[in-house]
Amino acid sequence: MHWAKILGVGIGAAALLGLGIILGHFAIPKATEPLASSVSDSQDLDLAILDSVMGQLDASRIRENLRELSKEPHVATSARDEALVQLLLGRWKDSASGLDTAKTYEYTVLLSFPSTEQPNSVEVVGPNGTVFHSFQPFEKNLTGEQAEPNVLQPYAAYAPPGTPKGPLVYANRGSEDDFKKLEAEGINLKGTIALTRYGSVGRGAKAINAARHGVVGVLVYTDPGDINDGKSLPNETFPNSWGLPPSGVERGSYYEYFGDPLTPYLPAHPVSFRLDPHNISGFPPIPTQPIGFEDAKNLCQTYPHSHSLLPSNLNGTSAPDSWQGALGCEYKLGPGFEPNGNFPAGSEVKVSVYNRLELRNSSNVLGIIQGAVEPDRYVIYGNHRDSWVHGAVDPSSGTAVLLEISRVLGTLLKKGTWRPRRSIIFASWGAEEFGLIGSTEFTEEFLSKLQERTVTYINVDISVFSNATLRAQGTPPVQSVIFSATKEISAPGSSGLSIYDNWIRYTNRSSPVYGLVPSMGTLGAGSDYASFIHFLGITSMDLAYTYDRSKTSARIYPTYHTAFDTFDYVEKFLDPGFSSHQAVARTAGSVLLRLSDSLFLPLNVSDYSETLQSFLQAAQENLGALLESHNISLGPLVTAVEKFKAAAAALNQHILTLQKSSPDPLQVRMVNDQLMLLERPWLSETRQEFYACLFHVLWAPNTASVATFPGLANAYARAQEINSGAEAWAEVERQLSIAVMALEGAAATLQPVTDL
């Protein structure tokens, strides 16, 4: 963890409180027209307006948005990225369909780029330096778009420059356990180059783990067994199917944390304190380069290539069954190559990386609709703008939907037929691909204001992975509003089902309260919701359409972060007709209107009770006995869970009573504030070194095997390790206390405001 982030939290909070008061440039602006005099404090969701919006969200307009957004590569801070900033400003300032205000917020951030003069390279070299094999520096030009001048060479962002050389070892997915397994097999990893597969652990963690064991360079590839259901031949992959082509390379940030690396906990403005680049933690410590599985096959498989299983080109013993992939050969561990393989004896792999760090100006674009009754309550809808190449799926499918929703709402606004009860903020975040930078800088700059005023954050990053079913992730209170919205919207296709009923066919769970319901996912740190939920404690969600997991084991859509993620790829393979994009627009639009227009916020805090009860049960069943043997009682946790459940149920009953009467506006406001603020008490004052900014007591990373409170589970797992002593068990007790205090704080938030 960055020591400056820890030090800066107290200073930053005080400074940002002042910023929230005195900075006028983020203040919700005055409406361009006076608010209608007929607007009253009792304004509620207008179902006629909701139906009108649903009918106006147009699949063909979303299609044209996507064509425009993805026609050129637009990596963060590039000329095309800036052109898209102007496109968004133009749309949101349009006289017929624009919003009240649109403006940019610029940050000076540290990014990482490959050298245009000296491309990164991977070679097999002999003892005397003779090059026996060179890997392709760019993806093959299959559709004409991969050779465009602004296509960024595949690289590992933030990996340091260097030219390490050494014998090759195969390290599976590059986890700590994987490298320990190699050492247990008697392999000396010092001075080696490790070949690893994407998956299991984060990109940057592969290099960090490798360096810890003496590895000097890392190669990362996407195995066809993980993305293409084993298919790897050119006629089986794009442009002949949705599969990743053999030359496809997943780019990505290898920075472990998020936000601008130089200004932890501070917005990246010129006046902010910046770390020395040499003191930044979370960067890969050794040169790292991603490659395509075609190049990985050249390392591992003997010639001639065929579809049948061939001997390995690597030396050493066979890799475990769980490490085997779909390159068409037996995976061996190394080190080095077989004497009778493709390369002469003593050949090594040389990785040449020429990446460089650069300070660049990156912009967020915000479009604002002022609320008619509660302009100081914000519903934020966000999506990032930057991509690694054309980015038709990631993120332009989300931006295409965002633009269509804002067009329809802006048109109603300009006609004077609608204005939301609460303010709506549309956000296009910059530099997300480098580590959620734009959204994180924004939350760091406006921490106090956002914590005090934000009702919910809605994230639609990739809106369509494929066209089978909805995928929704979020904190438990958003379940009810998503379910309500999806029950009223038809699913794409001819089934005649609602999105809700179609969703339940693909993924469901049995709820003790509701019976069979669709499964909601939880929020990790994979997109711009991360700083809102984990840093600010704001109720958040992420919405998308996705594929049928019974028909593919792909960990994500196959052309992710490659030069093959293009408009034609989307139109031909993911969503012909753009009906799934339209379904996401309707779902997100309905949720947005319900949250911004409903008199009482449609957030069911009692839905947290199921999560808490399951966490408690897991702790009792899996941790309880050993905890008792160390004189650690789960009794306070049981009491705290019951206290929360009672407070949530009482608040729900209070809301039902108010809804049956003519509530005073102040009563409504007080209840809504309780619903809005529920997520804040879950933020722990402790900081987790292994994952910057993730302080949420319930949703921080759980690296243990027990599905309970993450801090407790992780501390318990560490205390069970060999040679752990009293100090480790004291940490378990401390983490238990943190969970109890968070529960009691949440319960207190829900209790009547007169109960001081």
Cα distances from 502 to residues 281, 469, 551, in angstroms, run 45, 7, 16
Place of tokens 């008199």: 599
Integer Cα distance of 69 and 85 in angstroms: 11
Under 8 Å between Cβ of 680 and 668: no
State the pairing for strand pair 374-384/469-474. unpaired
Q: Which helix (H) or strand (E) holds 445?
A: helix 437-445
**Tokens encoding 49:** 């307006």
Query: End-to-end distance of the chain based on CA atoms, in angstroms?
Result: 37
Under 8 Å between Cβ of 464 and 545: yes
Cis before residue 304, ω within 30 degrees of 0?
A: yes
CA-based nearest residue to 146, from 219, 245, 224: 245
Residue 34 amino acid letter: P
Active site residue 432: yes
**Tokens encoding 370:** 């002022």
Under 8 Å between Cβ of 542 and 527: yes
Integer Cα distance of 266 and 308 in angstroms: 55
Alpha helices in 272-396 (DSSP H): 293-300
Question: Apex CA 430: angle with CA 428 and CA 432, to 5°?
Answer: 105
**Of these residues, 123, 139, 256, 432, which one is catalytic?**
432
Q: Which residues, in sequence order, are bridge partners of residue 301?
A: 312
CA-based nearest residue to 623, from 739, 465, 535: 739
Place of tokens 């779909």: 326
CA-based nearest residue to 319, from 167, 171, 166: 171
Place of tokens 């990156």: 362
State the pairing for strand pair 101-113/356-369. antiparallel
Cα distances from 625 to residues 632, 732, 739, in angstroms, run 9, 14, 19
Q: Which residues, in sequence order, are bridge partners of residue 101?
A: 368
Integer Cα distance of 158 and 253 in angstroms: 7
Integer Cα distance of 247 and 241 in angstroms: 15
Cα distances from 146 to residues 143, 431, 564, 590, 608, in angstroms, run 7, 22, 7, 38, 47
**Tokens encoding 292:** 């395509």
Under 8 Å between Cβ of 611 and 476: yes
291 by Cβ neighbours in 10 Å (0-12 / 13-18 / 19+) ranks as buried
For residues 573, 197, 77, 150, the Cα torsion angle rounded to the nearest 10 degrees is -60
Alpha helices in 539-664 (DSSP H): 567-569, 579-597, 607-622, 624-629, 635-659
Under 8 Å between Cβ of 349 and 336: no
Under 8 Å between Cβ of 253 and 526: no
User: What residues are annotated to the active site?
Assistant: 432
